[in-house]
Amino acid sequence: MIKLLKRFDVSEWVQVLISLIFIVAQVWLDLKLPDYMSEITRYSQMPGGEMLDIWLAGGKMMLCAMGSLISSIIVGFFGARIAASFSRRIRSLLFAKVDSFSMEEMNRFSTDSLITRSTNDITQVQQFITMGLQLLIKAPIMVVWALVKISGKGFEWTVATGVAVGVMAVVIALLMLFVMPKFRKMQVLTDNLNRVTRENLTGLRVVRAYNAEGYQEKKFESANQELTSTQLFTNRGMAVMMPMMTALMSGLSLAIYWIGAYLINGAQAMDRLTLFSNMVVFSSYAMQVIMSFMMLVMIFVMLPRASVSGKRINEVLDTQATILDGDKCQGKDGLVGHVEFKNVSFKYPGASDYVLEDISFTAKKGETVAFIGSTGSGKSTLVSLIPRFYEVTSGEVIVDGINVKEYKQEELYNKIGYVPQKAVMFRGTVSSNVGFGDNGKHKPEQKEIETAIKIAQGSDFVEKMDHQYEAVISQGGSNVSGGQKQRLAIARAVCRKPEMYIFDDSFSALDYKTDRILRSALKKETAGVTNLIVGQRIGTIMDADQIIVLDEGKIVGKGTHKELLNTCAVYKEIAMSQLSEEELLHD
């Protein structure tokens, strides 16, 4: 938690300092009240005491109370302001950090955990800062100052106060010992509840199709019950504190007055007034001490969970990125859209087996290179190494004559039009989704967006939608079909006007006719641009300049469609399973 709070900026530290000044002022004013109460007591008991003196002392008490109230309001204002500002900045830092993660770091933290850390955990820290600034700083100052004020006013009363404080400390320590581990567990259980909820919502169609609502409800109820039980345990533990604090406060008041009555009864007449005055003052100060400990109890209720949350936030912020920027902004002169793999091997972090082994090939400007193979052969993994979604284990991936590790990531991405297996749509409009992102050029004009959609064979359905190119796209593209999403994703890549396209099985949701027309339009409109295509259909890739056949992460065939039919058994087997012999031999 302290490590996280070190991220306060200068303006926040200045506000903390201002708050500290008002906290000290508030404590001083609160501790002046018993002094004036002592004066009123003395004036009321002294023979010939003037009513005016009592009114003056009472007026001073009123001023101190008003000053304390104003100070408290100012401290509360700054506390809320600091907490909100700090939380906003940490939330932005966390989002930016996660945004910079490679797939390796993303896999280290689950999506559900990252969502919890960005929301619930930061809220816990924010609440702690808001209350902590008012109570955590005030309480120790109040305790020390009050103890100094009452020292020397009665040994017996001091012993009674010391016993009460000791009992209180033991109770707090025991409760923290049992409750603290549960607070740590509670955040993990919150992650789990988020995961179950997210799985159910994203897979709602499958859940309904398989009549699995009951199963999912039981799964959610189990996660919900476990979290609820843990919360009840911690809440019950903390609930014990307040009654005990109240009982100690009442018991201490009773002990002070009982001791006071005993001392006054045994004192001489001249000393009784002084003892009575000291008893009133001591009682007020002792209550201040107990109240300070009650403030600390409130902080101790929040501290364990905030501490766990702070640690979880720091885990994300302190994670070192495995993929770092280079310093190159462009490739070698004369090379555009040139991709080369040199003896590339790759295995996922923590895995023992290689997914890709000794992959070597070259794709020149304007060429179409296709990758085919059985499921799990490493096709998608191979093309994901070009934009550095993962770092190669050994070998080199070279774009325009430069190793991808030497590029600034932003400049590398500017060269690529990437279409993933699963088309991703963002909440917005058709135009905002197609003209998405920044490729270092001017913002695409509406005409360019419409042209890109036309090339991707999306004009027919877009122009039938309400508001056409400004039609609303729901989160995840839930209001358009899979094929429509895929065409919009392809249009997004075309609109980018890159040096090379990476199509990661991007035509699978299209019918054969649309697939053929789209590829024909792409070939015509994007001449001179390198195409890297991961495909499952022979019909999608058979016209490629070079087809690379993968099997268990290794290249087992390389050449044109006709060449591979004669030289590669794996390719021929795939081809024969999809097309007839006449179709295969047809030019």
Q: Name the domain boundary from 497, 528, 543.
A: 497
**Portion of the chain with pLDDT greater than 70, in percent:** 91
Say whether pLDDT at 231 is over 80.
yes
Phi, psi values for residue 481, rounded to 5° = -75, 170
Residues 30 and 166 in one domain: yes
- Tell me the residue type at 200: N
Q: Name the domain boundary from 434, 463, 497.
A: 497
- Quote the pLDDT of residue 41: 66
Residues 116 and 246 in one domain: yes
Q: Note down the domain range covering 479.
A: 426-497
Residues 297 and 435 in one domain: no
Closest CA to 533 of 390, 389, 372: 372
Let me know if residue 278 belongs to a domain: yes
Say whether pLDDT at 586 is over 60.
no
Say whether pLDDT at 323 is over 80.
no
Write the pLDDT tens digit of every residue in 173-197. 777 777 777 777 777 788 788 888 8
- Quote the pLDDT of residue 249: 77
Give ∠ CA 370-381-408 in degrees, rounded to 5. Answer: 95
Torsion of CA 270, 271, 276, 277, to 10 degrees: 90
Let me know if residue 418 belongs to a domain: no
- H or E segment and range at residue 222: helix 213-266
Calculate mean pLDDT across residues 360-375. Answer: 86
CA dist 196 and 172 (Å) reads 35
CATH assignment of the domain containing 45: 1.20.1560.10
- Quote the pLDDT of residue 274: 67
Q: Name the domain boundary from 263, 285, 317.
A: 317
Residues 433 and 299 in one domain: no
Let me know if residue 534 belongs to a domain: no
| More confident site: 367 or 53 | 367
Residues 311 and 442 in one domain: no
Let me know if residue 569 belongs to a domain: no
Let me know if residue 439 belongs to a domain: yes
The alpha helices in 109-212, defined as continuous H runs, are 111-116, 122-135, 138-150, 155-202, 204-209
Total structural domains in the chain? 2
Answer yes or no: are the C-beta atoms of 125 and 306 closer than 8 Å. Answer: yes
Let me know if residue 108 belongs to a domain: yes
Say whether pLDDT at 335 is over 60.
yes
Residues 432 and 308 in one domain: no
- Quote the pLDDT of residue 482: 80
CA dist 11 and 236 (Å) reads 39
Sign of CA dihedral 84, 86, 89, 90: negative
Let me know if residue 472 belongs to a domain: yes
For residue 272 the two structure tokens come to 């009784």
CATH assignment of the domain containing 438: 3.40.50.300
For residue 46 the two structure tokens come to 């002294």
- H or E segment and range at residue 356: strand 356-363
Q: Which of 202-211, 507-516, 576-585 has the lowest mean pLDDT?
A: 576-585
Let me know if residue 10 belongs to a domain: yes
Residues 438 and 289 in one domain: no
Calculate mean pLDDT across residues 331-335. Answer: 73
Q: What is the DSSP string of 2-48?
A: HHHHTT--HHHHHHHHHHHHHHHHHHHHHHHHHHHHHHHHHHHHSTT
CA dist 12 and 3 (Å) reads 15
- Quote the pLDDT of residue 581: 64
Residues 441 and 309 in one domain: no
CA dist 176 and 184 (Å) reads 12
